[in-house]
Amino acid sequence: MPIAAFVADLDVPGWLCDAEAEFLIRAIVEHPTGGLCVDMGSYAGRSSACLAFACQLRGDASRVVSIEPFDSIHTRQARVTEETYWANLRRLGLEGYVTQHVERSPGAARHVADASACLIFIDADHAYQSVAADLQAWLPKLQPGGVLAMHDFRRGWILGQVWEAAHDVLPQADWQEMQTATGLGWWTKPGQGE
Ligand SMILES: C[S@@+](CC[C@H](N)C(=O)[O-])C[C@H]1O[C@@H](n2cnc3c(N)ncnc32)[C@H](O)[C@@H]1O
C-alpha cells in the first residue's frame, strides 16, 4: 500500500497529523540501514502503527519499540488501555513488528542497546525536565545517521517546553522544524549515513 494511502486510511486516534505521519514513515523507509524505531508515548498506537508500517515496507529486521505507561489522563482524548493499543495494531496486521514496554521514560531506555535505533520519536511528557531527561537517556541509543524526531516542537508553547529543552540539551544541534498543526522537530545524529 502506498504511504499516503496508509496514512489517509489510518483509523487510530492520536495527535500525529498526516504530514508528520508521512515524514516518520519516509524517514525510516529511506534510512540507509534501518534498525530499531522507538515510539515514546504511544497512546492508542497511531505513531506506533506508522513506524511499524515503515518496518513492514522495509522488509528487513527493522522493528518498533513502544514505550507507554497507559497511566496518563488526557483532556482532549479518552484514556486508553494496553488492550486498545494492541487491538488497533492487530486490526492493521502490524502487531508482529512491535515490542512494548508498559513503563515510563527515561527508565525504559535500559531496554534498548546503545547505537541501535535508526529513529527515535519522542511524544511523551512535554515538561522541560522530562524532555531533557528523555533526551539524555535516549540520545546514546541513536545510531550515527539516525533521526531524532519530537512532537509539539513549538517555541514558547504554553503546554510544553519541548523546543526549549531540545535546544538546551543539544546546543549545537541543527534542528529542523515542520510547520504543521501540531509541529514536528527533527535532528539527524552526525556520522554514518549523513
Ligand atoms: C500525546 S500522547 C502520544 C500520542 C501518540 N504518539 C500519537 O501518535 O497519537 C502522549 C503519551 O505519552 C505518554 N507518556 C507520558 N509520560 C510518559 C513517559 N514518561 N514515558 C512514556 N510515555 C509517557 C502518555 O501516557 C500519553 O499516552
CATH code of the domain covering residue 179:
3.40.50.150
User: Looking at per-residue confidence, does 51 or 1 come out higher?
Assistant: 51
**Nearest-atom index, ligand 1, CA of 44:** 9
Single-letter amino acid, residue 120: I
> Quick check: is 115 in a domain?
yes
Query: Could you tell me the distance, in angstroms and rounded to a whole number, from the CA of residue 3 to the centre of ligand 1?
Result: 24
Element at 133 (helix H, strand E): helix 128-138
> Quick check: is 125 in a domain?
yes
Distance in angstroms (rounded) separating the CA atoms of residues 42 and 49: 9
Arithmetic mean of pLDDT, 48-57 = 98
Q: How high is the pLDDT of residue 181?
A: 82
Distance in angstroms (rounded) separating the CA atoms of residues 174 and 103: 30
* pTM of the predicted protein model: 0.96
Query: Could you tell me the distance, in angstroms and rounded to a whole number, from the CA of residue 70 to the centre of ligand 1?
Result: 8
> Quick check: is 14 in a domain?
yes
> Quick check: is 84 in a domain?
yes
Q: How high is the pLDDT of residue 174?
A: 82
> Quick check: is 194 in a domain?
no
Query: Could you tell me the distance, in angstroms and rounded to a whole number, from the CA of residue 25 to the centre of ligand 1?
Result: 19
Q: How high is the pLDDT of residue 173?
A: 76
Contacts of 76 (CB under 8 A, 6+ apart): none
Arithmetic mean of pLDDT, 127-152 = 96
> Quick check: is 144 in a domain?
yes
pLDDT band at 76 (very low <50, low <70, confident <90, very high): low
Number of compact structural domains in the chain: 1
**Residue numbers of the domain that contains 39:** 3-188
Three state DSSP letters for 56-93: HHHCCCCEEEEECCCCCCCCCCCCCCHHHHHHHHHHCC
Residues with CB under 6 A from ligand 1: 14-16, 40-43, 46-47, 67-69, 72, 104-105, 123-125
Q: How high is the pLDDT of residue 175?
A: 86
pLDDT tens figures, 163-187: 999 999 987 778 888 888 889 999 9
Query: Could you tell me the distance, in angstroms and rounded to a whole number, from the CA of residue 44 to the centre of ligand 1?
Result: 9
Maximum average pLDDT range among 15-24, 75-84, 165-174: 15-24
> Quick check: is 110 in a domain?
yes
Distance in angstroms (rounded) separating the CA atoms of residues 54 and 47: 11
pLDDT band at 75 (very low <50, low <70, confident <90, very high): low
Count of Cβ atoms closer than 10 Å to residue 63 Cβ: 17
**Nearest-atom index, ligand 1, CA of 108:** 20
Instruction: Look at 8-12, 111-115, 148-152, 180-184 and tell me which has the smallest mean pLDDT.
Output: 180-184
